[in-house]
Amino acid sequence: MTKRYATPTRLLLCAAVALASCAATFAQQRLLRLKLDGPVIETPKGEELFDFGELFGEKARTLHDITTAIRTAAKDSEIAGMVLFVEQPQIGLAQADEVVRAIRDFRKAGKKVYCYLDSAGNGVYAIAASADHITLSQNSSLDIIGLNAQMSFYKGLLDKLNCNMEMLHCGAYKTALEPFVRTEPSKENAEMVNWLLDGIYTRWINMIAEGRNLKPDQVRAAVDAAPIMADKALELKLIDAVGSMNDFREMVRKHHGKDCEIVKKYPEKDGMKLDFNNPFAMFQIFSKMMEEAASTSDKPGIGIVYIEGPIVDGRSEVDWMSGSSSAGSTTIRAAFEKALEDENVKAVVVRVNSPGGSALASDIMWEAATRCAKAKPLIVSMGNVAGSGGYYVSIPGDTIFAEEATLTGSIGVVGGKMVWKGLFENHLGITTFEFPRGKHAGLMSQNRPWSDEERAAMTKLLDDIYVQFKGRIMTSRGPRIKGDLEKMAGGRVYTGKQALELGLIDRIGGLSDAIVLAAEKAKLSDYEIYVYPKPKDIGDIFRQIAGEETDKGWDADSGPVLRNAPLIKAALQLIGTGEFGPARSALNGLSTAIILDRAKVGCFMPFDLQFR
């Protein structure tokens, strides 16, 4: 064999080839672009939110989609870093906590996160602070001015309309109907809001401090000095640079090469692009969507049951205009049944993001979840809120996860009805006469208040359901409750951190943590995710248009509770979509009244807090 000796020429040639290879690799570095803007949804949407943007390769992403993409990219050797744009996401603090945790996991993989902000308020900055680098637009300001909780009360409006609310409740802190009968919060209500706000504020401060490697007192001082102009924010080490988008882009290119690629969609899939030169392109798109809808997987996996929005009797609803959802007992019961029957589903995760609602619907879901938990591991993940009925449906879980800022608890019940007599007679000239048969036939009549006997009957009903609620908790979580349940009930609301100390939940964490634990319990290392209720596919849409029944299960399919309510429709005409705080609060209040009119007794959170 002839030996080859390294000559200077050969060494230079090898070095040149190696440098060229390194340069090519450097030039091809890929950066994940994460843009957070608009609603961050929980439940994958189906037909009601069918968007023609999907035909052009765009699709609305859930919180789980976002965090999964970040964690997948962290393990992807082709992804060298992340460019983060946080604009105006509609995201709760508990959801933000989960996104922040995913970004930190990305950084732990040795990959840098670069964030650019045109401006930043409270929630935006809490997420941005998790990045390695923040550039704030020149001449902008950091508006971390603190958390301001707002509550709306409707008694003044009802007085003007000559209407009133009949109200009963179990527990001094069960103040869900208080806005209808007061113009300001009760002592108990104000006390509860303050202890919740203390916990949420502390968590928000700590999120920023942890992200920016500052002491909490430094962050509090900055908050008290806000709004802070960009140059001052740089001086306080709240950001790393002040500059334009072009400055930010050049900074990123300096670290990753001028030809670095920005990956906007991740994980990357072949999008369904519409070829306008092909007259049959639309049919090809529909054909592909039909094929995907028909495809099934027999891979072992984890089922995720989503319980999102007010809890109502009947089927779940989605308002495609606003994206708001309700969780119907019929739909959720069927979802648990399908997860239970599906042999591929080895464990179930229940994601709850609900302020509660109908007591009966909550109990129906509890029973379905309990039955499922007896056969398969069942883990619960709480979102921004899982209170009252939202807590009721969570307790069957083997393990309950919540974020520190999650609002939960609110163990108690309320009952009531709206009385419209004054409005109809005094303002509209409509008089109503009743012809009852049966002692309590007019119990839920909106033409008059309760008689003493009717009030006594309603009080007994509430007491019985309250005892049942607490009994369900002891059945599901008895040994884990730390202390006297009665003292932590009565409608009291807690943060996730406080709930952990009381044994109302088991761990601090998010949906991803719940899925990991479910996989561990099911002894799965490689698994599929199955979503329940299953979002309706394009085939379901066409079958529905054709008048075919798409759900042939055992459950009766009762009609919508909220979407077709005339009161909600009229309110939407007056106040628009309800995106701004007082309007959204008013719509939520109307929803409470409508659910009570049908359910009689409810398990609602005692307030609809708006944090700004």
CA distance 98 to 516: 14
d(CA 301, CA 287): 27
Nearest to 36 by CA among 110, 106, 112, 128: 128
How far apart are the C-alpha atoms of 409 and 176, rounded to whole Å? Answer: 13
- For residue 73, which of 267, 297, 341 has the smallest C-alpha distance? 267
Q: Name residues whose C-beta falls within 8 Å of residue 234's C-beta, 6 or more positions apart in sequence.
A: 136, 240, 241, 242
Instruction: In whole angstroms, give the CA distance from residue 438 to residue 528.
Output: 55
- The helix (H) or strand (E) run that includes residue 218 is helix 216-225
Helix axes 511-521, 93-108, angle to 10 degrees: 70
Query: Structurally, what CATH architecture does the domain formed by 19-145+226-263 represent?
Result: Alpha-Beta Complex (3.90)
What is the structure's pLDDT at 562?
54
How many other C-beta atoms can be found within 10 angstroms of the C-beta atom of residue 482?
12
Token output for 1: 């064999």
pLDDT at 44: 84
Would the CATH topology of 19-145+226-263 be identical to that of 297-431+453-611?
yes
Q: Which residues of 567-577 are buried (b: 16+ CB within 10 A; e: fewer)?
A: ebeebbeeeee
Contact between 336 and 368 under an 8 Å Cβ cutoff? The reply is yes
Q: 119: closest CA among 259, 201, 229, 13? A: 229
Rounded Cα gap, residues 501 and 247, in angstroms: 47
Q: What is the pLDDT of residue 306?
A: 97
Strand pairing class (378-387; 164-170): unpaired
Identify the CA nearest to 459 among candidates 30, 170, 99: 170
- Report d(CA 144, CA 133) in Å as an integer: 18
Roughly how many angstroms between the first and final C-alpha of the chain, as a whole number? 78
At residue 339, φ and ψ (nearest 5 deg) are: -65, -35
| Rg of the chain (C-alpha set) | 27
Q: Extract long-range pairs of 38-41: CB within 8 Å, 24+ residues apart.
A: 38/88, 38/89, 38/90, 39/89, 39/90, 39/323, 40/66, 40/89, 40/90, 40/91, 40/95, 41/323
Q: Any idea which architecture 297-431+453-611 has in CATH?
A: Alpha-Beta Complex (3.90)
Q: What is the pLDDT of residue 483?
A: 93
Q: What is the pLDDT of residue 537?
A: 55
pTM of the model: 0.85
**pLDDT at site 280:** 52
Q: What is the pLDDT of residue 20?
A: 43
Residue among 226, 248, 13, 218 nearest 122 (CA): 226
Distance CA 603, CA 101 (A): 32
Q: Which of 612, 592, 598 is nearest to 179 (CA)?
A: 592
Mean pLDDT, consecutive 10-residue segments, the chain of 612 residues?
42 45 57 93 65 45 93 96 94 95 97 97 96 96 93 90 91 91 94 95 97 98 97 97 97 95 81 51 52 64 96 81 76 96 97 96 97 98 96 98 97 92 88 90 92 95 96 96 96 97 98 98 96 70 49 52 52 49 62 81 77 55
Question: How is the chain split into domains, by residue range?
Answer: 19-145+226-263, 297-431+453-611
